Amino acid sequence: MNDLIRIKGKRKLKGEVTVSSCKNSAVAILPAVVLASEVVKLYDVPEIEDVKVLIKLLNLLNIDVRVSDDELTIDPTNIANVDLLDEDVMKLRASYYFMGALLGRFRHVKMYSPGGCNLGPRPIDLHLKGFEALGATITQEGNVIEISAEELKGDDIYLDFASVGATINIMLAACFARGRTTIENAAKEPEIIDISSMLNKMGAQIRGAGTSEITINGVTRLKGCIHDIIPDRIEAGTYIIAAAACGEDVTVNNVIPQHIEALTSKLEEMGVRLEQGSDYVRVFESEDLKPIDIITQPFPGFATDLQQPLTALLTKVDGDSHVEETIYLERFKHCAELNKMGADIEVAPGKSTIHGGKQLHGTDIFATDLRCGASLIIAGLMAEGETVIHNAYHIYRGYDSIVEKLRAIGAEIK
Ligand code: EPZ
């Protein structure tokens, strides 16, 4: 995979783009198959690097995965609970879902601690607190973590922060725990509803996903199922922002509008002209956009994953816009790169001020994480001249065929 993306900017985007299915669902659903005793069939799995890595980890557990187009047939009947001490574990943070799944199924797991985007400290203390509440003991030697339990017994677990990962990981570990587990202050992201509905199809008894209180009544076995992963709301938001930045008339298909309400209402507040259907958002060329203030929040608030792409658009909007991060205080590495292109963004701890009204110009810039990379692509589409984005592998972790999709709506990108 070539690690540079080259963009000749200021092409008007026009046409239709279709969103793939949700990365942050897929990366939880694949490890969750460990809990199944029969074949699981997944439709619309995004062809992204993170999925490829997780398939290799499933293979390490002697789980057969057959890929045909974007359908996966996963056969866990010969699963072996081997230690996951492979460097692939460190390639993505979501590998930590194998902790909850293997603990839940076998009451033992030994693996490397996760890796993933550098968005500042990303502890997993809430995950581990949940596992301990279910009766597990945890030992950590260096970056090897071992979790085991004589027996897993349901308990009431309160999350100090509505963590997406902790909510899902505890849900996985609790599926076979004896009795009832409740997760208070649970995260409410759509991905949590998606994985809970798949587990319930397999015979789990999970109620309340999507609300701040989830209950799991333990069962003894999960069968197989067929599951269609929800569309990726962050990918959808990224293309909608790109269209608002340099689109003439772009329709983004395969969207669940309720999943991106915080974004679309903010864009409308800015003066972006949108038409929303039941499964698409159409963006028309919009002039004289107004600056706005953004505060990131857990769902249904404004998604932290979209503040970086939106920042690129805000560089051209006259006036000062403000972004405040309440989820990842250090998620501002894209600003220095945008400033190399002529933006004028000030960064303070947990917040940025974008002095807009600037015309960006192309130059060499460096992606530092997945959504930073998306922000730089949008900047390249807006900029005069050629932009060369280095470390493009970050982008391929979470955006299926982004170069092809943008080229198909008129971008000059390769
Ligand atoms: C998920 O990460 C997503 N990743 C992130 O998307 C997303 O930004 C994030 O949720 C917030 O929406 C996946 O789903 C694979 P959290 P996650 O646990 O689960 C702190 C992308 O670009 N925290 O809700 O790791 C943590 O440090 C990625 O697709 C603890 O302190 O997010 C952070 O400040 C980036 N202790 C905050 O909570 C814990 O045990 C949010 O974390 C867990 C989290």
Overall fold of domain 23-228: UDP-n-acetylglucosamine1-carboxyvinyl-transferase; Chain (3.65.10)
The correct answer on CATH 3.40.50.720 for the domain covering 4-20+231-413 is no
Fold: same for 4-20+231-413 and 23-228: yes
Distance CA 333, CA 350 (A): 12
Please say if the pLDDT value at position 236 is more than 80: yes
- Ligand 1 and 398: CB distance under 6 A: yes
Instruction: Quote the mean pLDDT of the chain.
Output: 96
What's the average model confidence in pLDDT over 332-344? 98
| Residue located nearest, by CA, to atom 24 of ligand 1 | 163
Could you confirm whether 117 is annotated as catalytic? yes
pLDDT in tens, 27-75: 999 999 999 999 999 998 998 999 999 999 999 999 999 998 879 999 9
CA of 97 to the centre of ligand 1 (A): 13
Q: Which residues neighbour 389 within 8 Å (Cβ) at sequence distance 6 or greater?
A: 4, 5, 6, 7, 365, 366, 367, 373, 376, 377, 380, 395
| Whether 110 contacts 144, CB under 8 Å | yes
Please say if the pLDDT value at position 116 is more than 80: no
Reduced to 3 states (helix: H, G, I; strand: E, B; else coil), residue 335 is helix
Residue of 20, 22, 24, 296 with the most ligand 1 atoms within 8 Å of its CB, for mutation: 24
pLDDT in tens, 134-172: 999 999 998 899 999 999 999 999 999 999 999 999 999
CA of 208 to the centre of ligand 1 (A): 20
How confident is residue 2, by pLDDT bands cut at 50, 70 and 90? Answer: low
pTM: 0.96
Q: How high is the pLDDT of residue 1?
A: 52
Please say if the pLDDT value at position 130 is more than 90: yes
Scanning the structure block, which residue is given the tokens 């929800």?
230
The strand pairing partners of 181, in sequence order, are 216
Domain ranges of the chain: 4-20+231-413, 23-228
pLDDT in tens, 173-217: 999 999 999 999 999 999 999 999 999 999 999 999 999 999 999
Q: Which of 22, 117, 246, 372 is catalytic?
A: 117
